[in-house]
Amino acid sequence: MPQLSINVDHVATVRQARGVKEPDPVTAAAIAELAGADGIVVHLREDRRHIQDRDVKILKQTVKTKLNLEMAATSEMQQIALEIRPQMVTLVPERRQELTTEGGLDVGLHKETLKPFIETLRAEGIAVSLFINPDLEQVKASHWVGADFVEIHTGIFSDAETLEKREMEFERILDAVKLASKLGLGVNAGHGLDYRNISWFRGIKEIEEFSIGHSVVARAVLVGFERAVREMVYLVRSL
């Protein structure tokens, strides 16, 4: 049975929009765990646009399942990871202007720098995953640089506007998943997965874990909206 890790970055985005203390991604992480999530994911970006250093530090102390820290392969982030020691680091590419992580890492291009970067983290007992496009060359390069896991980018599949494109991309995902597993890499998958497209992944035993954020937070906002309004209506009516 695959596992589910919940990404709580969007909760921090709402908090940062006001520069206040709530909603706290740490609280959201605790609720996710109470609801059965197998892990918590946060992306500490270089620009700190949502998750803050304080969040990652507290999460390491409070998360009872496992903490997966997404980050760019920079020396600043490596230092933070070595201090905080999450159970897993997922290396992602980062461009300042992007709305979210847009593509996978080009592992082949950066393999000479990634190899020692990964070794340093692994030597401290931190498992390393690489977020890659479903591309066989990227899978092979991930194996070469000594990653423990790959996270296959499902964003193009999720965004596909026609069934034909979606099926084509899904085939690429399947091929990448099979090769990664054959090479002995653990396999995670994520980006853009939602309450509808998750059913495509039924029975793919090689995928150990799905990492999902946006669709869950988006649903929480709408599913919880009526109750939240009712509670405020009650308070205003009681004035």
Site of interaction with ligand PXP (CB under 6 A)? 7, 9, 43, 70, 90, 92, 100-101, 131, 151, 190-193, 211-215
State the Cα–Cα distance between residues 181 and 118, nearest whole angstrom: 19
Residue 179 beta carbon to ligand PXP: minimum distance, rounded to whole angstroms: 19
Residue 238 beta carbon to ligand PXP: minimum distance, rounded to whole angstroms: 38
Residue 169 bears catalytic tag: no
Instruction: Name the catalytic one among 94, 143, 191, 209.
Output: 191
Residue 214 bears catalytic tag: no
79 burial class (0-12, 13-18, 19+ CB within 10 angstroms)? exposed
Residue 110: how many CB atoms within 10 A of its CB? 16
Of 224 and 231, which CB lies nearer to ligand PXP in the complex structure? 224
Residue 7 beta carbon to ligand PXP: minimum distance, rounded to whole angstroms: 5
Identify whether the C-beta of residue 158 lies closer than 8 Å to the C-beta of residue 194: yes
End-to-end CA distance of the chain: 51
Of 104 and 181, which CB lies nearer to ligand PXP in the complex structure? 104
Of 26 and 92, which CB lies nearer to ligand PXP in the complex structure? 92
Instruction: Name the catalytic one among 70, 94, 151, 169.
Output: 70
Up-side HSE of residue 125: CA atoms within 13 Å toward CB?
5
Of 103 and 146, which CB lies nearer to ligand PXP in the complex structure? 103
Name all contacts of 70-76 with Cβ < 8 Å and 24+ positions apart: 70/7, 70/41, 70/42, 70/43, 70/44, 70/101, 70/131, 71/43, 71/44, 72/45, 72/46, 73/105, 73/110, 73/113, 73/114, 73/117, 74/46, 76/46
Residue 191 bears catalytic tag: yes
Residue 239 beta carbon to ligand PXP: minimum distance, rounded to whole angstroms: 39
Which residues does the annotation mark as catalytic?
43, 70, 191
